[in-house]
Amino acid sequence: MLKLSEKFRGRDFLTLQDFSRADLHVFIAAARELKARQKAGEPHRLLAGKTLGMIFAKSSTRTRVAFEVGIYQLGGAGLFLSERDIQLGRGESIADTARVLSRMLDGIMIRTFSHSEVEALARHAAIPVINGLTDYLHPTQVLADLMTVEEHKGRIAGLKLAYIGDGNNVAHSLLLGCSITGMDIALACPEGYEPQAAIVQTALANAAAGGSRVSIGHDPLAAAREADVLYTDVWAGMGQEEEAAKRQEAFKGYCLDTALLKAARPDAIVLHCLPAHKGEEITAEVFEGSQSVVFDEAENRLHAHKAVMALLM
């Protein structure tokens, strides 16, 4: 049976900032090993008999399937818990919910709006808590992104990723993930939609310590120039539906199209965390083109999430 490092057993996975470059490479190596085992049809029931509680305040396709299928492939069971199934922070305090679930489960994955809610859950739980997404961060997505970059480029450090669009939770985690692992990152966001200053300052400090560069600007073409990886996300995320019309106007010119692809390196790859609105943040031509690896990236959510569960639980 595959033997994984015990270093992370019992820890939470709330933000990539809690881990070093070497740590993240352990997660990526484990994800790639688990992927190879699954492709070869080799059993890897590392979590036999264990149960993951999956709390979803925000709906999901990739997160739900990746964690539920992932825990099953690891030999355990996943328990889906919607807002209607539990009273988290409403009829029952987060602290009490955390303590109850800690007596019955082996791990908790939560996908919700407030990052402070996830932090509170982790503070009171005696079992690992995994951040499946908040409005502030999306670390499990970016772990899969880094895995995809390494698969296609053979390395992470020394490359350049250009992110075009909203300075949202994905952008925040990309800033952290790239700066920790030694990849340059350039963001191009419309004015008023830049990433939060605290995240930028943390990423700049990471980059200074690790020898990479972070830049935040408003020019998509400048950001894309000589990039090895081009990345975008929807203009209006979940919970921002009322802002959609306003954002449509603000984000004109921030579409990942062939002009941006030509500005990047000839062998650049295209990433998108999905779902995609073709014709808005990315053209159908680029999305469906030969340089797009978005479905490799989507598949790698399964393997990256399995690595997180296997190492923590």
Which helix (DSSP H) or strand (DSSP E) does residue 247 occupy? helix 244-250
pLDDT tens for residues 166-219?
A: 999 999 999 999 999 999 999 999 999 999 999 999 999 999 999 999 999 999
Which residue among 44, 111, 115, 172 is the active-site one? 111
Which residue among 172, 272, 301, 303 is the active-site one? 301
On whether both 183 and 208 belong to a single domain, the answer is yes
Quick check: is 250 in a domain?
yes
Question: How confident is the model over 103-113, as a mean pLDDT?
Answer: 97
On whether both 121 and 189 belong to a single domain, the answer is no
| Cα–Cα dist 71/255, whole Å | 36
Q: What pTM value is reported for the model?
A: 0.97
The mean predicted confidence, pLDDT, of the chain is: 96
Quick check: is 10 in a domain?
no
pLDDT band (50, 70, 90) for residue 87: confident
On whether both 132 and 158 belong to a single domain, the answer is no
In the prediction, which pLDDT does 89 show? Answer: 57
Q: Is the pLDDT of residue 90 over 70?
A: no
Quick check: is 22 in a domain?
yes
CA angle 275, 87, 302 (to 5 degrees): 35
Which residue among 37, 189, 273, 305 is the active-site one? 273
**Domain ranges, residue 155:** 141-298
Quick check: is 5 in a domain?
no
On whether both 149 and 132 belong to a single domain, the answer is no
Catalytic residue list contains 37: no
Question: How confident is the model over 259-279, as a mean pLDDT?
Answer: 98
Residues 6+ apart with CB under 8 A from 300: 31, 35, 144, 145, 147, 148, 151
Q: DSSP readout, 187-227?
A: EE--TT-PPPHHHHHHHHHHHHHHT--EEEES-HHHHHTT-
On whether both 172 and 122 belong to a single domain, the answer is no
Question: How confident is the model over 146-165, as a mean pLDDT?
Answer: 98
In the prediction, which pLDDT does 226 show? Answer: 98
Residues 6+ apart with CB under 8 A from 284: 278
On whether both 306 and 290 belong to a single domain, the answer is no
In the prediction, which pLDDT does 243 show? Answer: 83
- Cβ proximity of 223 and 163 under 8 Å: yes
| Cα–Cα dist 294/236, whole Å | 19
**Domain containing residue 292: CATH number:** 3.40.50.1370
Q: Is the pLDDT of residue 98 over 60?
A: yes
Quick check: is 229 in a domain?
yes
Which residue among 44, 141, 166, 305 is the active-site one? 141
Catalytic residue list contains 38: no
For the chain, strand residue ranges (E) read 51-56, 77-82, 107-111, 129-133, 160-164, 184-188, 214-217, 229-232, 269-272
In the prediction, which pLDDT does 224 show? Answer: 98
Which residue among 172, 233, 272, 305 is the active-site one? 233
Quick check: is 147 in a domain?
yes
Catalytic residue list contains 277: no
pLDDT tens for residues 235-247?
A: 987 677 778 889 9
Q: Structural domain tally of the chain?
A: 2
Which residue among 138, 172, 247, 272 is the active-site one? 138
